[in-house]
Amino acid sequence: MNDLHINISIESSFYCKDPESTELGKKIVQVGIELMDQLGYEAFTFKKLGVEINSNESSIYRYFESKHAFLVYLVNWYWSWIEYKLVFATANIVSAEERLKKSIELLTEEVKEDSSFTFINEVLLCKIINTESSKAYYTIDVDKENEKGFYKTYKRVVQRVCDFVLEVNPQFKYPHMLISTIIEGAHHQNYFSKHLPALTDVEEGKNNIVEFYLKLTKSVLSL
Amino acid sequence: MNDLHINISIESSFYCKDPESTELGKKIVQVGIELMDQLGYEAFTFKKLGVEINSNESSIYRYFESKHAFLVYLVNWYWSWIEYKLVFATANIVSAEERLKKSIELLTEEVKEDSSFTFINEVLLCKIINTESSKAYYTIDVDKENEKGFYKTYKRVVQRVCDFVLEVNPQFKYPHMLISTIIEGAHHQNYFSKHLPALTDVEEGKNNIVEFYLKLTKSVLSL
DNA sequence: GCATTTATGATAGTAATACTATTATATTTG
DNA sequence: CAAATATAATAGTATTACTATCATAAATGC
């Protein structure tokens, strides 16, 4: 996959000026991810990012209209990337059950190596998604932003996996709840395992999280 | 239960001055909940709250050291209240399975009426918990705050329900994951049903959320 | 190769936030 | 009634999340 040099295309509604179109734009995203990982969403500012990349706050505002918009961009990039991996991982697999299994694995495992086929460090991006992505939709402007399509990539991924669920068990009444519960759940569990271990059962070295959600899926769908 | 007039006692580490000890303190919490519900966490400020209660920003700071501390107080109040309801609802019930079922119901149902046995509007508080509570622990200072015991009430509730899980199925390896997944999941689903319905399967008038998590629990524990 | 467009950088400025500090004025209590 | 305590009013600070303006550098078009 590393040799494909696919690039994730992001809709123009997620930026003012396409960051992929210039060196500065790529640097904003690349170093922006590193800095947000270090400081957390709240303490991250465009001013600090400007200093870090030897550029100017005002230049960054030409790419993203706000810090929130930058987060939304990252979240959509992440889901586009997951969608790509999902389509790739389930292509040519005959068994619907196997396709679902691969999907759940993909959605729940922690990304630990950077595929480095883009300027984005996927390991850090995933850490940010785990910790900060809910802030993209837990905002007073959700409804307005939902209308603008800010969460469409996420919804599309959920729908794809729902389709697999229904192939496996067409009678199942809660495919969306199941998949969004698993996605959000896995993000929480990854975070909890590092910071609030009393809320998990993660053991050193073992990937219990994937295991747990696979088991959950199997049992609730009677597989 | 309305006649009991129990009051939820909150540890002194969650405030500078006990808001329950004065009229002003109660008003801060009571109107603070209403205002945070209206504005959302980000736009909520102590200054605006001061105007609302005809008091002063500086007076509010004598009760809570920061906006974040106020949220942490509310989250702990919520979990103390849930814990009380949990203990009450499961007392004298012989069947472990039934205790677990009641617990899951309690953790996943949306609170729709105010028990009005305190100065706190529980319906609004629950809305705030659904929308804002994750911001209490998705912060760069989690580890420090966890050490200070900021999340202990939540962890205690999870542990109580875990104990029921293990009574029902002592071999089950992931009780904490299961319960924290259900709790966070139900909060997400409640929020999604109002703002991002594409991520749920909630039907008008039906409480599918409780139903889904009950089914999930039963199947994963082979009940 | 030079003019023109376009991108970037530097600087300044604004309203609001999240506080802290100080002082004044009520209110309670001993 | 004095002293202690709680609350209110005011001012001030550093930072945030921007917007606006102008200068300069780089790319492109003919």
d(CA B217, CA B198): 23
- When pLDDT is cut at 50, 70 and 90, the band that residue B66 belongs to is very high
Chain A nearest CA to B203, separation (Å): 11
Domains of chain A: 71-220 (1.10.357)
Using CB atoms, which residue from A155, A174, A196 is nearest to B201?
A: A174
Compute the count of residue pairs across chains A and B with CB atoms less than 8 Å apart: 133
Check pLDDT > 70 for residue B134: yes
**CA gap A9, A76 in Å, rounded:** 10
The alpha-carbon gap from B17 to the nearest alpha carbon of chain A, in Å, equals: 27
Calculate mean pLDDT across residues A89-116.
Answer: 93
- Identify whether the C-beta of residue A179 lies closer than 8 Å to the C-beta of residue A158: yes
Nearest to A186 by CA among A217, A142, A222, A146: A217
Interface of A with B in 156-195 (CB under 8 A): 158-159, 173-178, 180-181, 184-185, 188-189, 191-192, 195
Say if B117 is an interface residue toward chain A (CB within 8 Å).
no
Whether residue B202 has pLDDT greater than 70: yes
Element (H, E) at A33: helix A23-43
* Confidence (pLDDT) at A118: 83
The rounded percent of chain A whose pLDDT value lies above 70 is 97
Scanning B44-66, the segments in alpha helix (DSSP H) are 46-52, 57-61
Q: B150, B171, B143: which is closest to A201 by C-alpha? A: B171
Give pLDDT, residue B203.
84
Instruction: Say if the Cβ atoms of A184 and B185 lie within 8 Å.
Output: yes
Name the residue with tokens 């992440």.
Answer: A78
**Given this model, what pLDDT does residue B1 score?**
47
Task: Label residue B40 left, alpha or beta by phi (over 0 means left) and psi (-120 to 50 means alpha).
Answer: left
Question: Which residues 52-111 of chain A have a CB within 8 Å of chain B?
Answer: none
- Predicted local confidence at residue B4, as pLDDT: 54
Residue A39 contacts residue A83 (beta carbons within 8 Å): no
Per-residue confidence (pLDDT) for residue A2, from 0 to 100: 46
- Residue A5 pLDDT grade (very low, low, confident, very high; cuts 50, 70, 90): low
Q: How far is the CA of A139 from the C1' of D6 (A)?
A: 36
Model confidence over A60-100: pLDDT tens digits? 999 999 999 999 999 999 999 999 999 999 999 999 999 99
What digits encode the pLDDT tens for the residues A19-38? 999 999 999 999 999 999 99
